[in-house]
Amino acid sequence: MKSVRKEGFWYEGSGSSLPKPIALTEPWEDKSKFLKALAGLESRVREHGRIRRYKGGSICRICECRNGSTEFEFKGWTWPVGFEHYVEAHNVQPSLAFQKFVLGV
C-alpha cells in the first residue's frame, strides 16, 4: 500500500497528535501564486483525481467557520477542501514540500 502525505489536517482537541494551524499576521512569499496553483490543482483533481466526501464537516480551528467535508488526493498527497481557507484567511503557510508539490504540478 502506497503511503500518502497529508497536509492541512489539524488537531482535534486534547490527545491529538496533529499540529495546530499557525496564523501569520503578514502574507508569506508566493502566497498568491500558491493559492492560484492550488485552485487549479483542486479543479484538476475534481476532474481526474480522487476526492472523498464525508458526512458532517470540518470547522476552522482558528475562526470556527465551516470548511466542508471533502478531501483531495493526488500524486501521493491528500489535503482537505478547507485548506485554502487557512491559507487565504489566516496566512497559514503550507509545508515547503507541499508548496513545491502544488507549484510543480
Domain ranges for the chain, please list them.
28-100
Position 102 scores a pLDDT of 98
pLDDT of residue 15: 82
Side chain identity, residue 10: W
Radius of gyration of the chain (CA): 13
Q: What are the beta bridge partners of residue 68?
A: 58
**β-sheet bridge partners, residue 103:** none
| The model's pTM | 0.91
CB-CB contact of 63 with 89 (8 Å):
yes
Q: Sign (positive/negative) of CA torsion 29, 97, 50, 16?
A: negative
Q: Each residue's pLDDT tens digit in the chain (105 positions)?
A: 578 999 999 998 788 899 999 999 999 999 999 999 999 999 999 998 899 988 888 899 999 999 989 999 999 999 999 999 999 999 999 999 999 999 998
pLDDT of 7: 98
pLDDT score, position 57: 83
CA atoms within 13 A on the CB side of 35: 17
Q: How far is CA 25 from CA 86, 90, 103, in A?
A: 12, 8, 23
